[in-house]
Amino acid sequence: MIILMGIAGAGKSMQGKILADELGHPWISTGEVLRVLITGRRRQDMVEGKLLSDDEVIRVVEKVLELIDTEQEFVMDGFPRTEVQVDWMLNQIALGRLHKPVVFNLEIAEEVIRKRLKDRNRPDDTEESIAKRFAEYERATRPIIAYMRKKGIPVIDINADQTPRAVHDQIVNLLKEQR
């Protein structure tokens, strides 16, 4: 399992698609899946930049994992984002359902993200939701990187300010070293 972490706009989806296509692996973007499956008030919460509950996210991830062969390598972005989600993943690894991941943490400057998010023109990329995502990322998600390291999960920081090709090449080269 290859996990791509980073704030919205860091390039997780772009890198995930490219990596999955190049290596022939399934690509799971929890953000894309959630945008398709979550409706009503919870969808509005997502549009406003609020994170869904751990139970909601884990239920969706479980459904997606039932559709792929988890014995084979796959690329996932946007999960896990909380300690509860990391612990769930570690439990799945302990049960033999998942293999220990390599995590690539896409680090990017705030001004670069703001420009990328505005340029992609998604309805949920408003100034207000971007500000909420930054705050939520710093408060809740960034500490997950340290938590995963503490739990023995390899986390590799990548400078995502670079061109998409440079980021991809770095991921591929580092992945070869890890496998």
Share of the chain above pLDDT 90, in %: 59
- Is residue 49 pLDDT above 70, yes or no? no
- Domains detected in the chain: 2-178 (3.40.50.300)
**pTM of the full structure:** 0.86
The pLDDT of 74-98, averaged and rounded, is: 95
- How does DSSP classify residue 175? H
What's the CA gap between 161 and 147, in Å, rounded? Answer: 24
What's the CA gap between 67 and 43, in Å, rounded? Answer: 23
What is residue 164's predicted lDDT score, i.e. its pLDDT? Answer: 93
Calculate the CA dihedral of residues 145, 170, 4, 138 and round it to 10 degrees.
40
Q: Please, are residues 81 and 29 in contact by the beta-carbon 8 Å criterion?
A: no
